[in-house]
Amino acid sequence: MKQNICDIHLAKMTVKDETWRESVGSGHAYLTLREDYREHVREIQKEINFKSIRFHAIFHDLVGVYQGTIDGKIEYNFQNVYKIFDFFLSEGFTPFVELGFMPKELSLGNETVFKYEAHITPPKDYALWNQMIRAFVLALVERYGLNEIKTWRFEVWNEPDLDAFWTGDMEDYFKLYKKTVDTIKSVDQDLIVGGPATSKIMWIQELLDFCYKSKTPIDFISTHHYCSDVSFEPGFENDNVHYRGQHVMMNEVKTVKEIVENSPFKGIPIHFTEWNVSPIHEDTYGKDSVFTACFVLSTIRDVSPYVDSYSYWTITDIFEESGPSIDPFSGKYGIVNIHGIKKPVYYAYQYLNSLYPYVLEQGDQSTIVTKDYKENIRVLTWNLPQVLQEHMFGDDYELDEETVTKQTILKGLSGAYRLQTYMIDQNHGNALTAWKEMGRPQYLSDVDIRILKQKSQPVLIHDEVVNVEDELVLQNDIYAAGLVYHDLRRIF
């Protein structure tokens, strides 16, 4: 039995960490114009309220910024840019602006990535790239004001260490980085720019060294990682994507922190602008199951002391890098599916949002006990099992199926409380399981969607008024990949 003992008066309290809230990822920019996408974002912001959002392809030809030469003059069009940023600002986001990909007319070659054919080459003419970047930033300043734009972050490109996203080499990326930073800083020195936005925490030391030697500004470091990824560990081929164990998430974040703190740029913010269980688009269990929720809670708990933002990839399954979802649950990255049906990971974030401001010190690393000034209590506890074998193309992972008994002893309470306890696991509050039980229909009717939205909700397993004299014991058996949420509200 795992046991927490918390004296709500004597336990050391800290203010709740909300690093998880600082940013979230999205698909490519043009999707923002879809109304179903906007409906998902509105509900998520109402119930979770992320602070910032990052997305791909603001310079894609669908958005239409670069219009080319018309009557001997280079023309730009910011109509869609304004619609995109107007919407995000209206929903309370501060944009985290990924500067990419390359407009087709500026591309050095024809190489593209994704179904929406994003161009991934260096610019054929850096003068034209610089001119576009300056026009883009000035257009943002004109519409939203310089003071507002000074709160935004500008990130140069996306995963340039991967051939899939950048046809140049590292030196080519550093050239792009310097040209871009110098151009943005020519508008105002206080504008915030950084990178390298690499996969697998690559090129961080190299970029810091380059910036120091070339006297190029860098205001933050950004990078990405996934637990299931290629590895440089002995015994694994570099192209063999495998589940590396949840512990690697904290190890890699700490590695980045150490690199930055030992550099001439000590103290600059660290932003992980993509992360998830798996980068494989078809990994349904890794991204749509209750395992995902437990993995997210453990990872956020581990890494929060070492990062300034930790941007879950992504906000919704309206995400079409490999094309539209074939099935309602197909391993896309979102916290809701294409119909807005909430995955278990959605509730992990919603519960984090609902926890009270003060966290009580406890020993169990998979339990969070919080209180408010009225001595109302909320407890979130979960069971993340060991993965015995991953299956990244649709099948469930094989897990250590151990059920854990979690006991939280709250001391120092007195009075009448209403205790409500909610559960999510394989069979409770799990739309993926419910969809499978329906027979995995590819196309959902309105009735199907309503049923699955209801089935996605955490199940109330306990609801009673309890009279407490000094001590209350909260105890539940939590199945492998399950979580429990206790809401204890003082009546008198």
Residues 152 and 190 occupy one common structural domain: yes
pLDDT at 195: 95
Residues 70 and 169 occupy one common structural domain: yes
Residues 293 and 317 occupy one common structural domain: yes
Number of H helices, E strands in the chain: 12, 24
pLDDT at 228: 86
pLDDT at 413: 86
Residues 51 and 96 occupy one common structural domain: yes
**Angle made by CA atoms 123, 126, 128, in degrees to the nearest 5:** 90
Polymer length in residues for the chain: 492
pLDDT at 361: 76
What is the phi/psi pair of residue 240, to 5°?
Answer: -95, 100
Residues 234 and 297 occupy one common structural domain: yes
Residues 361 and 340 occupy one common structural domain: no
Residues 31 and 164 occupy one common structural domain: yes
Residues 167 and 254 occupy one common structural domain: yes
**Residue 287: CB partners within 8 Å, gap ≥ 6?**
276, 277, 278, 331, 332, 333, 343, 345
SS3 per residue for 124-189: CCHHHHHHHHHHHHHHHHHHHCHHHHCCCEEEECCCCCCCCCCCCCHHHHHHHHHHHHHHHHHHCC
Positions in the chain whose pLDDT score sits under 50: 231-238
Query: What residues act catalytically?
Result: 159, 274
Residues 58 and 190 occupy one common structural domain: yes
Helix (H, G, I), strand (E, B) or coil at 319: coil
pLDDT at 5: 63
Note the pLDDT tens digit of each residue in 209-224: 999 999 999 999 999 9
Domain span including residue 309: 18-354
Note the pLDDT tens digit of each residue in 31-50: 999 999 999 999 999 999 99
What is the spatial distance between Cα 229 and Cα 223, in angstroms, rounded to a whole number?
A: 14
Provide the 10 A C-beta neighbour count for residue 62: 14
pLDDT at 402: 85
pLDDT at 232: 41
How many independent structural domains does the chain possess? 2
Residues 321 and 414 occupy one common structural domain: no
What is the phi/psi pair of residue 386, to 5°?
Answer: -75, 140
Tell which of 354, 386, 404 closes a domain: 354
What is the phi/psi pair of residue 120, to 5°?
Answer: -125, 20
Residues 341 and 431 occupy one common structural domain: no
Residues 101 and 237 occupy one common structural domain: yes
pLDDT at 69: 85
Tell which of 354, 380, 396 closes a domain: 354
pLDDT at 233: 38
Tell which of 291, 325, 354 closes a domain: 354
pLDDT at 363: 67
pTM of the model: 0.93
Residue 473 maps to which CATH number?
2.60.40.1500
Residue 318 maps to which CATH number?
3.20.20.80
